[in-house]
């Protein structure tokens, strides 16, 4: 073996020890795959509710702005802590969207449900955000729906790169001007989750760089890395639609309470 080959082999060996491959990472996480899709849904709902309660109800309560602790120059209040916890919700919802796209038996019905609940959620969203029927931004269901259309475009035009690129650019422009929650960043994040679905480690690393509040949002990949690929106990159609209904319902409840 030449000297250069020996050096190359040594470098590869060192990198493998310092940076485990995705297969090694998956083997390490295999023993921690204890969360099914139902638990991820519950975690997403809980963190979302905490976030919206802080942003839409407790934001002007003085007791929620008392300093709990400081991290460097950052003051952490109960309000800030609740908003940080809420950063976990969107990555988990997006992950579940990709999983739903991959495993649904009826992609048209799945997309129609997303669009219908985007429309149903708009008035509760507007009321909760502005106390009015109209608001300059749209609810997150629109972001999920546009992301879903992007996944459909990738599958539909996988052998037609020009058509695929044109479709994704069009959806990107729509997501930019629509101004739904997470907007074009959320759209790109959903596409990234799909593109890197077979590489959880890289998916997590790239995901931390895409979303706002990078470090906090990146913590969502901890429970996501514990996903075991099973649906879990939320199986019946009624339970599935209750999961959809919760979003507009909890926004309307917050509006009424406020």
Contact in structure between 211 and 91 (CB atoms under 8 Å): yes
Residues 6+ apart with CB under 8 A from 154: 164, 168, 191, 194
Position 28 scores a pLDDT of: 61
Position 4 scores a pLDDT of: 52
Position 15 scores a pLDDT of: 45
Contact in structure between 121 and 251 (CB atoms under 8 Å): yes
- How far, in Å, CA of 103 to CA of 42, rounded? 19
Q: What b/e readout covers 157-180, taking b as 16+ CB neighbours within 10 angstroms?
A: beeeeeebeebbeebbeebeeeeb
| Per-residue tens of pLDDT for the chain, all 258 residues | 555 555 555 655 654 554 555 566 566 656 678 899 999 999 999 999 999 999 999 999 999 999 999 988 889 999 999 999 999 999 999 999 999 999 999 999 999 999 999 999 999 999 999 999 999 999 999 999 999 999 999 999 999 999 999 999 999 999 999 999 999 999 999 999 999 998 888 898 898 888 877 678 889 999 998 999 998 988 888 888 999 999 999 999 999 998
CA 89 to the chain's CA centroid: 6
Contact in structure between 114 and 142 (CB atoms under 8 Å): no
Contact in structure between 69 and 76 (CB atoms under 8 Å): yes
Position 227 scores a pLDDT of: 94
Position 85 scores a pLDDT of: 95
Position 204 scores a pLDDT of: 87
Strand pairing partners for 75?
70
Residues 6+ apart with CB under 8 A from 115: 145
Position 29 scores a pLDDT of: 59
| Nearest of 91, 149, 89 to residue 118 by alpha carbon | 149
Q: Retrieve residue 104's tokens.
A: 């649904």
Contact in structure between 227 and 33 (CB atoms under 8 Å): yes
Nearest 5°: phi and psi at 219?
-65, -20
């Amino acid at each position: 073996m030449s000297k250069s080959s020996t050096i190359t082999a040594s470098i590869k060996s060192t990198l493998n020890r310092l940076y485990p491959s995705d297969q090694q990472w998956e083997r390490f996480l295999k023993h921690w795959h204890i969360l099914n899709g139902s638990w991820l849904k519950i975690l997403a709902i809980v963190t979302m509710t905490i976030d919206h309660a802080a942003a839409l109800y407790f934001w002007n309560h003085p007791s929620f702005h008392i300093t709990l602790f400081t991290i460097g120059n950052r003051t952490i209040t109960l309000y800030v802590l609740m908003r940080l916890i809420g950063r976990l919700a969107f990555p988990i919802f997006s992950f579940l969207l990709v999983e739903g796209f991959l495993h649904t038996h009826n992609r048209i019905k799945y997309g129609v449900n997303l669009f219908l609940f985007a429309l149903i959620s708009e008035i509760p969203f507007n009321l909760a955000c502005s106390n009015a029927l109209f608001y300059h931004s749209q609810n997150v269901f629109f972001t999920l729906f546009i992301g879903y259309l992007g996944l459909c475009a990738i599958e539909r035009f996988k052998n037609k790169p020009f058509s695929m690129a044109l479709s994704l650019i069009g959806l990107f422009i729509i997501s930019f001007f629509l101004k739904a929650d997470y907007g074009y960043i959320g759209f790109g994040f959903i596409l990234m989750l799909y593109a890197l679905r077979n590489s959880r480690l890289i998916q997590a690393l790239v995901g931390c760089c895409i979303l706002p509040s990078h470090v906090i949002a990146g913590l969502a990949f901890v429970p996501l890395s514990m996903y075991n690929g099973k649906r879990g106990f939320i199986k019946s159609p009624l339970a599935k639609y209750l999961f959809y209904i919760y979003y507009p319902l909890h926004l309307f409840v917050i509006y009424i309470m406020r």
